Amino acid sequence: MATTAEVSAGEERAEEPIERFRSLLAEAEAIDRTVLPEPTAMMLATVGDDGRPSVRVVLLKAVDERGFVFYTNYESRKGRELLANGHAALCFHWQLLERQVRVEGDAEPVSQEEADAYFATRARLSQIGAWASKQSRPLSSDAEFDARLREMGDRFGGGAVPRPPHWSGFRVVPHRIEFWRNRAHRLHERVVYERDGAGAVWRVTRLYP
């Protein structure tokens, strides 16, 4: 039987956690989409003014050494909470890989240029929907939303749909990233990377399962 000392020696090298994450994400994206339809799905946790947490699933749209990017309506609950309290947590769980990655950090708005560039890649109906949706606010009926979609569709006609001023992205700048690997008998492997102060150096720590 494997012991807790028998871990992946290659993963103990001082590689950047973003590099390690990208490798796992590539494995998840290589899985047939009929089996794993959304490999970029991640749980996003935010905190309201009352100190109560809220969690939902969003899609990762970019990741690099600066952090993890997703897009949303800034007037939504998550948007409002992140603008008021910039602390956020993410969790990726790829069950087929028996892997989990947890990220904790600070959320900051992406640049206008980044938001414009991504919005331009969205399907037209998704672009119109960003204008039509009063995200997270009460909706009386589907008919009301359909009417708003028609209204916005007529407003832009066949021309380009600009990005709404209230729709943009956040980048979660990580200060802690934990990699979890499932192992038999609950002898799981947990490796945490934490930034050494405000610098770019990562401190690596192994945790009991």
Domains for the chain: give ranges and CATH numbers.
9-120+163-207 (2.30.110.10)
Which H or E run contains 189?
A: strand 189-195
3-state secondary structure of 86: coil
Q: Tell me which residues are annotated as active site.
A: 186
pLDDT at 33 exceeding the cut of 60: yes
Per-residue DSSP letter, 140: -
* pLDDT tens per residue, range 65-77: 999 999 999 999 9
How far is 171 from 16, CA to CA, in rounded Å?
Answer: 18
Q: What's residue 198's pLDDT?
A: 67
Q: What is the mean pLDDT of residues 73-86?
A: 97
Q: What's residue 38's pLDDT?
A: 97
Q: What's residue 196's pLDDT?
A: 82
Q: What is the mean pLDDT of residues 31-41?
A: 97
pLDDT at 2 exceeding the cut of 60: no
